Amino acid sequence: MPVLAVNVDHVATLRQQRRGIEPEPVTAAHLAELAGARGIIVHLREDRRHIQDRDVELLRACVKTRLHLEMAATAEMQAIALRLHPDTVCLVPEKREELTTEGGLAVAGREDDLRRYLQPVWAAGIASSLFIDADPAQIEAAARIGTQIIEIHTGHYADAATDAARDAELAKIMAGIAMGRDLGLKVNLGHGLNYVNIHAFRNVPGVGEYSIGHSIVSRALLTGFSEAVGRMAAIVESFADQT
């Protein structure tokens, strides 16, 4: 059965806007699990623009499903993963100036380096995922590295400007899923998936996990808006009784 893993980065984005204490990603993770998420994902970026080290520490203590840590393949992140022991690390490319992860990790041609990087992670009992484009060369390289999981980047599909471009991206993803499975990899999908474009995967066998963040956090914000305003309006208007 395919499962949903929820990325709570943007709960932290909102909190970091004020460098305050709310909203709390750990609370969001807990609610996500209660609502049916089978995994919680955070991306600890080098610039700490949303998720902080303390978030990963607290989530490691509180997440009851599976904790997936997205990270760049740096020595700093490897040390954090080995210390905090997420269930999975997902290696992603990272550029300081990007708004979000822009593409898959280039793994072809870097097999030896990435295998060396992941060896201590595997030795610690942490599974690895590589976030890659639906490109046969990258998928074959991922299998050669020895990762257990790949996450195929769905952002080009989600962002396609025309129907023809969207269909072409979808065809690449479908072929990538089949290829990954044939190579013995667990295949996940993620990036840019929302309540509309996810339907394209309805009859697609072989996907283990859908990794979704932005659209869920966006929807949660708006579906909760009326309740939040109504509650505050009721408090303010109750002051009239005191005058």
Query: Which is nearest to 188 in space by CA: 120, 130, 108?
Result: 130
Per CB under 6 A, 151 contacts ligand PXP: yes
Close Cβ partners of 4 (under 8 Å, ≥ 6 residues apart): 36, 37, 38, 39, 209, 210, 212
Applying the rule CB under 6 A, the residues between 8 and 47 that interact with ligand PXP are: 9, 43
- Distance from C-alpha of 164 to C-alpha of 44, rounded to nearest angstrom: 35
Residue numbers 66-105 binding ligand PXP by CB under 6 A = 70, 90, 92, 100-101
Site for ligand PXP in 106-135 (CB under 6 A): 131
Structure tokens, 210: 């859908």
Cβ distance to ligand PXP smaller for residue 26 or 51? 51
Q: Exactly one of 87, 106, 214, 220 binds ligand PXP (CB under 6 A); which one? A: 214
CB 81 within 8 A of CB 89: yes
Task: List active site positions.
Answer: 43, 70, 191
Q: Any contact of residue 56 with ligand PXP (CB under 6 A)?
A: no
Rule CB under 6 A: choose which of 78, 138, 147, 211 binds ligand PXP.
Answer: 211
**CA-closest candidate to residue 134, choices 106, 101, 176, 174:** 176
Name the residue nearer to ligand PXP (CB basis): 25 or 213: 213
25, two tokens: 């990603």
Given candidates 39, 86, 180, 190, which one binds ligand PXP under the rule CB under 6 A?
Answer: 190
Cβ 105 to ligand PXP shortest distance, Å: 9
